[in-house]
Structure 1
Amino acid sequence: MCNQIGVGCLRTQTYHHRCWKERTVIAELLPTIDPETAARFGTTPDESRVNRAATALEGNGISVLRAANAAEAKRVVLGLIAEGSEVNHGASTSLDVAGITEEIDHSGRYEAIRPRTWSMDRQTQADEIRRLNSGPDVMLGSVHAVTETGSLMAASMGGSQLGPYVSGAGRVILVAGTQKIVSDLEEGLRRINDYAFPLEDARAQAAYGIHSAVNKILIINREITPGRITVVFVDEVLGF
């Protein structure tokens, strides 16, 4: 289990199916992250911090489940989704590493939106793509920070996953390694800008040949619809 992010752990998370050339892009970037920052934001916390965050989330109308590792997180998440459900997800290292993306998109058990929209023409079917992405039965994803006061923080370059998180999706299931727990919103912003963004930028360059950007940041302080949002905390470093 990776309890602190590092070159080997990040390679395993992101590019175990990709070529070595792509992996070295990540390895070359990692030394630019200050070691103190990496230790603060890339290490799993003690149980008391996890419990504080979980209790605060529950108090804010957000359900919390626990998983010991990525494999267990996959079982938990899939157990929450009925076969035949319309399911969408954004690009997420956490979902990829856990094997959730593969199961949703290719098992045939679900009505997967992402493969469908990727096969559509971006010029002539843009409106249909937008509508399909905006209101699925179930939206899967992750966040970049979870505060001990019970807020969720997600950053995005384009923002297509944020609308479903807020209100578009019938249900939202977010998978988050416990290393993403921070004290408050201010520290959450530091985690996004100083830690998660450099790693995501390297991933985007390796995967797509483009830079990422922190263009939009969503903060969810409370959910008013009971049972709509579930956070699955994973007790190991998972994602950025």
Structure 2
Amino acid sequence: MNSNVNWYLEKKLERVKKSLEKNNYDVYIVNDVEEAKTTLKNIIEKNAKVSFGGSMTLIDNGFIDFVRDMEVEVLDRYKEGLTPEEIGEIFRKTFFADYLITSSNAITEEGYLVNLDGTGNRAAAMIFGPKKVIVMAGYNKIVKDLNEAYNRVRNYASPINAKRLSRKTPCTEVGVCMDCNSPERICNHYVITYRQNVKGRGIVILIKQELGF
């Protein structure tokens, strides 16, 4: 990365870090995925019960397998061969986990987390249930404000995820949100988390790489 671009990015991440800390989050800034994994391992104690929220940041960058290899109990929604009923049971058990590891669709410079869910299990657990929530986010998830967050989530992340999931929705044809009423619509629960009411429950690891959608 160009040194001037790196300087600009570091300044932005520091501003976001301060905003998140003001909103009761613990925040780490790391250089890359490998440093993020080390940070994750240092945070999670042995024998903890850990679950995942749906996230391409976790899937594409080896976080799932990394956690599986830790000395923890994994509520593994990504385990091969699970039935929809078994996955649903894991979703419910997640509310009693020690840690939920996930990402956020957007993070504003004011320190707000913005997420859009299909079933709502990820957003719900981010709000309440697990003792701690760890959010892994590349710098590309950072936006200026809630207006930019809404545009990013509805017109970028949602169409890409709908396409990834092979959903029959208008956005997979035109590439932007059409605010449809399709039975296969994935954007059903739009959640803004302004702050964590319990200090330290939310942990955000900001990664100086472009990750996820």
Report TM bin, short chain.
Answer: 0.7 to 0.9
Q: Secondary structure at the match of 2:128?
A: helix
- Which one of 36, 41, 44 corresponds to residue 78 of structure 1? 41
CA shift in 2, pair 1:237/1:128, >3 Å:
closer
Percent of residue pairs identical = 28
Equivalent residue, structure 1, for 2:133? 172
CA shift in 2, pair 1:54/1:116, >3 Å:
closer
How much does 1:235 deviate?
0.4
Q: Secondary structure at the match of 1:205?
A: coil
TM-score, structure 2 as length reference: 0.80
User: Are residue 61 (structure 1) and residue 33 (structure 2) matched?
Assistant: no
CA shift in 2, pair 1:83/1:215, >3 Å:
same
4+ runs deviating over 6 angstroms: 116-120
Equivalent residue, structure 2, for 1:102? 65
Distance (Å, rounded) in 2 between the aligned partners of 1:77 and 1:129: 21
Equivalent residue, structure 2, for 1:111? 73
Q: Secondary structure at the match of 2:157?
A: helix
TM-score, structure 1 as length reference: 0.72
CA shift in 2, pair 1:211/1:69, >3 Å:
farther
Equivalent residue, structure 2, for 1:35? none
Distance (Å, rounded) in 2 between the aligned partners of 1:47 and 1:231: 16
How much does 1:167 deviate?
1.5
CA contact (8 A) 2:77 2:90 kept: no
Equivalent residue, structure 2, for 1:233? 206
User: Are residue 52 (structure 1) and residue 26 (structure 2) matched?
Assistant: no
Distance (Å, rounded) in 2 between the aligned partners of 1:84 and 1:237: 31
CA contact (8 A) 2:13 2:29 kept: no
CA shift in 2, pair 1:154/1:64, >3 Å:
same
- In the alignment, structure 2 segments of 5+ residues that lack a partner are 2-7, 168-182
User: Are residue 160 (structure 1) and residue 121 (structure 2) matched?
Assistant: yes
CA shift in 2, pair 1:79/1:169, >3 Å:
same
Equivalent residue, structure 1, for 2:173? none
- In the alignment, structure 1 segments of 5+ residues that lack a partner are 2-44
